[in-house]
Amino acid sequence: MKAAAREELFARLAELNPHPKTELVYRTPFELLIAVILSAQATDVGVNKATRKLFQAADTPESILELGEAGLKRFINSIGLYNAKAANIIATCRILVERFDSQVPADREALESLPGVGRKTANVVMNTAFGEPTIAVDTHIFRVANRTGLAPGKNVRVVEDKLMKAVPGKYRLHAHHWLILHGRYVCKARKPDCPQCVVRDLCRYRAKTPTT
């Protein structure tokens, strides 16, 4: 996709939603980190339902350690893969207390050293909690980047690297949320809503859904 089209694509997404936000509910970087760990292969709605009660009971590494793994599981057992996620969260809380003064670190290397935190989770936390212009490529962003021709690639890392070059600088901070929301609600996996899509004329997807 040419530079002018990329600029126009983001200008339109930005006009629709000037201040895009994550749909995960959180108050602190720590709560965001826990919510993002829980969100792997789960919906934001499901995570929010669980964390609403969890964060009332425990919202710091120390208080989650006090709950213990069994206690934590009681709050998150409606979420997929909760056994593994509980073990990772307990291990992460222990490391935060022991090595990071109970604070969520802002840099990639430190974040990725935490159990349950991969590149995607680190990108979300760096972007959403600390205002870094990172782009966490999830299934929605991967699909939109490929369909539109914005940043085509065979795997998420290729798409991430291409997006970091393709997204105009002034849109990079919010690009992550614009593309996720566009993929979740418009450029849906099974049947994209092309007739209603504001970037339809810029998009290079050959199998666009017809208007009638």
Residues in contact with ligand SF4 by CB under 6 A are: 147-148, 186-187, 192-194, 197, 199-200, 203, 205, 208
| Distance from the first to the final alpha carbon of the chain | 27
In the bound state with ligand SF4, the residue whose beta carbon lies nearer, of 162 and 208, is 208
Residue number, 98 or 193, with CB nearest to ligand SF4: 193
Report the amino acid identity of residue 34.
I
What is the closest distance, in whole angstroms, from the C-beta atom of residue 136 to ligand SF4 in the complex? Answer: 19
Sign of CA dihedral 83, 48, 193, 186: negative
Clarify whether 120 is annotated catalytic. yes
Which residue among the candidates 21, 44, 138, 208 is catalytic per the annotation?
138
Amino acid identity, position 76? I
Residue that has been written with the tokens 């105009």 in this structure: 168
In the complex with ligand SF4, the residue whose CB is nearer, 79 or 187, is 187
Vertex 21 angle, CA 107 and 18, to 5°: 115
CB of 84 to ligand SF4, least distance (A): 33
CB of 199 to ligand SF4, least distance (A): 5
113: DSSP letter: T
> Angle at CA 52, nearest 5°, toward 49 and 53?
105
The nearer residue to ligand SF4, 25 or 198, going by C-beta atoms, is 198
Exposure on the CB side of residue 171, measured as CA atoms within 13 A: 24
Shortest distance, position 185 Cβ to ligand SF4, whole Å: 10
Contact by Cβ (8 Å): 82, 90: no
**Which residues participate in catalysis according to the annotation?**
120, 138
